[in-house]
Chains A and B, each alone.
Chain A
């Protein structure tokens, strides 16, 4: 039987506010344990929450970015459960009246097609602290610095049908929130975390299968792997005559092992009710319009601009426009070298490959936009070939200076001196009589292709520095004269 995968995502996005959602304690990452947990964050008796305006501003920015209706009257509720990283014994969140209503996000797939993923809603809530499992005489240690960090939880509809779509959606959300500047996007620090709801159903049927939820994935790669594993597990289970049970699962990205955490029967009864310490938050049109005025260019708009302004393909424009740092790098390079096509190729090619290999962010690329533009300029003026350029790029990456300095120091300048090249071509032809005979004897329509045989020895003789176009001209002229 052919199976169809159905995926929905719940995405936790830490907002880049200076302070917590309900207290004036700092949210800076990496502080000593519990030094940023104030009386409110620790749920000391008698303390009370007061919400952070910036968290609302950021949530509204996100709502506007996904074309959603903004909740003009949102209400905080208490979600009750006991856990040592949850000091109050309840999480303050939004349920019935969230700040962001239904919206949608467009994703692009590798085959060039696009798809709209519906957002059910997004709500504001507080993050929990962390349990550290290092052994303190058989005890766990609790750090509450993260407790109270503002989050928006974005809940999608079950609109994705493959791991590729889920990852594209997750990347797109990452791109949106970082472009808006409402999240630092640092996945390794937990700034974005994904809960993935997965089910399978026979292809062509309407009814959803029983779903499982895998919690807290913090990389796109883990998400992709986890979905593949879970889909396979569910299909195997059903095909072996079993059935999927609704449960919460955990996936370890490093060991690639997933396990059940709790079944639906063991699920908490969260006893939600409106938080009596907080009043309904009213957001008026003036506030919303003021936020709209501050919205930066969003990835989709930027992509369209790149297509029009730089004549890039939709696909290339999509990649370059996805995050504002990459977009800025590309545009800056283009401006300096005057060639968008070459700039696009280099950013998506060598720059991206090197960054990925070293897990570096584009803002910390050793090759800055001045250096890349300088390199592209030397390609354009035929000083170096594409092949040599890659070598020069590598040297720039290793910190050996800019393109001109490296070309100069290593004598990589293309040989474009016609006289010198003619001499070398003559020598190569003379040294390869058999090849010459063969060429002279070949059918006229094969001659152009066979001419390539001389290129290797010529490039070798010039240490790869010969201007290939010029060599071709000279070679053709010389050989044709021998016919």
Chain B
């Protein structure tokens, strides 16, 4: 993990990392990756990946409206909202 790897990751995760801490972050992430690299020693040939602890399957919901308009409740929490819209700096495609 070098400075440019951290910069790429930080961009991907949209997290600002102060320039002065980049080396420290790089080191701690390298340490964690060294820990998890122990996985490479495991023999996992033919083992199916396991995403859930239980072998359950998904329940499906009936197509019925259960939610009412609670815009005022939710937008009371918004850092910036106007005319019912959440406001963000200009979105450019």
Contact = CB atoms under 8 A, between A and B. Distances in A.
Chain A directly contacts chain B within the complex, with at least one CB pair under 8 Å: yes
Interface of A: 17-19, 23-26, 32-40, 42, 44, 50-56, 82-85, 131-133, 136, 138-144, 250, 261, 269, 271, 274, 276, 278-282
Contacts of A52: 60-61, 63
Contacts of B91: 83-85, 131, 133, 140
A35 B14 contact: no
A51 B61 contact: yes
Contact of B85 (A82, A132, A280): A132
B12 interface: yes
A139 B66 CA distance: 32
A24 B51 contact: no
25 contacts: A18-B63, A18-B65, A19-B65, A19-B66, A24-B64, A32-B71, A34-B84, A34-B86, A38-B67, A52-B60, A52-B63, A83-B91, A84-B86, A84-B88, A133-B91, A138-B90, A140-B87, A140-B88, A140-B90, A141-B83, A141-B85, A141-B87, A142-B87, A276-B51, A281-B57
Given A53-B60, A53-B61, A280-B57, A37 B74 contact: yes
A407 B71 CA distance: 58
Contacts, number: 118
Contacts of B85: 33-34, 132, 136, 141-143
B45 interface: no
A413 B68 CA distance: 60
Given A34-B85, A141-B86, A281 B58 contact: yes
Given A44-B74, A281-B58, A53 B87 contact: no
B84 A35 contact: yes
A250 B61 contact: no
Contact of A24 (B56, B65, B70): B65
Contact of B80 (A82, A133, A139): A139
Kindly name the residue among A33, A36, A50, A141 whose own CB sees the greatest number of chain B CB atoms within 10 A.
A141
B75 interface: yes
Contact of A34 (B67, B75, B90, B93): B75
Given A24-B64, A24-B65, A280-B57, A39 B89 contact: no
B61 A276 contact: no
Summarize A's interface: helix, strand, loop or mixed: loop
Given A33-B83, A37-B74, A281-B57, A24 B88 contact: no
B63 A280 contact: no
B82 A141 contact: yes
Contact of A19 (B14, B63, B86): B63
Q: Which 9 A-B residue pairings sit nearest by Cβ, starting from the closest?
A: A24-B66, A141-B85, A54-B63, A53-B60, A38-B67, A33-B84, A142-B86, A279-B58, A140-B91
A129 to B, nearest CB: 9
Contact of B88 (A26, A38, A139, A276): A139
Given A133-B91, A142-B87, A279-B58, 17 more contacts: A24-B66, A32-B84, A33-B85, A35-B84, A39-B74, A50-B60, A51-B60, A53-B60, A133-B90, A139-B87, A140-B90, A141-B85, A143-B84, A261-B93, A274-B51, A279-B52, A281-B60
Contacts of B83: 33, 136, 141
B91 to A, nearest CB: 4
Contact of B71 (A26, A35, A84, A282): A35
Given A82-B14, A138-B90, A139-B89, A51 B67 contact: no
